[in-house]
Amino acid sequence: MKRKVSLFIAMSLDGYIAKADGSVAWLETDRPQTEVDDSYEKFYAQVDTVLLGRKTYEQVITELSPEVYPYEDVESYIFTSAPEKTVGRRHFVKGDVVALVEKLQAQAGGVIWIVGGSSIVAPLIEANLIDEYIIAVIPRILGSGVPLFQPGKWEILLTQTNSYAKNGLTYLCYEKQREK
């Protein structure tokens, strides 16, 4: 059985994952936390591999979690045009994200999480390799920025599996429809 490929990502109400300058500081808000939201923890417990682009990786280690790399306990594949030496479980790779995902899907393991950004997400959508979409909609309109979904010549039919709101975020959960 093929491993599940999941996209769990936050976006603005108008569909952006970053501002035009690449900034993601807008994700951190001062919304009151009135409810327990363990959506991320439940999801991450199934993950054993993460894929992210170099810009997203840099944002994680410099802005979002500069003290501790949050994915140290799983295999990380960081796509970059200038690969570096592997450090622990962090693999800096250059090449085709679709080919790597297909290779990883054929191996035993847990969920493969597509962390971001759009240069990683777009080819996987085009190849229809994302099995599950979990999108946390942040109640903010940015007006411009880096869109989650790039224009393309494909159409993918999804089935809604869940939707819920926690602390002002709205989670939209979909699976791609299984081939008959």
Q: What average pLDDT does the segment 21-44 reach? A: 87
CATH number for position 161:
3.40.430.10
Task: Give 66-84 pLDDT, tens digit per residue.
Answer: 999 999 999 999 999 988 8
Task: Give the pLDDT of residue 179.
Answer: 62
List Cβ<8 Å contacts ≥24 apart for 67-70. none
Q: Is 161 helix (H, G, I), strand (E, B) or coil?
A: strand
User: Does residue 28 belong to any structural domain of this protein?
Assistant: no
In a domain, 105, yes or no: yes
> Residue 40: inside a domain, yes or no?
yes
> Residue by residue, what is the 3-state secondary structure of 54-111?
HHHHHHHHHHHCCCCCCCCCCEEEEECCCCCCCECCEEEECCCHHHHHHHHHCCCCCE
Model confidence band, residue 180 (pLDDT cutoffs 50, 70, 90): low
Q: How many domains does the chain have?
A: 1
What domain range includes position 163? 5-22+34-176
DSSP run (H or E) holding 125: helix 118-126
Long-range contacts: 161-166, Cβ < 8 Å, 24+? 161/132, 166/35, 166/37, 166/39
The rounded mean pLDDT for the chain is 93
Mean pLDDT of 135-161: 93
**Residue 27 is assigned to a structural domain of this protein:** no
What is the pTM (predicted TM-score) of this model? 0.93
pLDDT tens digits for range 89-147: 999 999 999 999 999 999 999 999 999 888 899 999 999 999 999 999 999 999 999 99
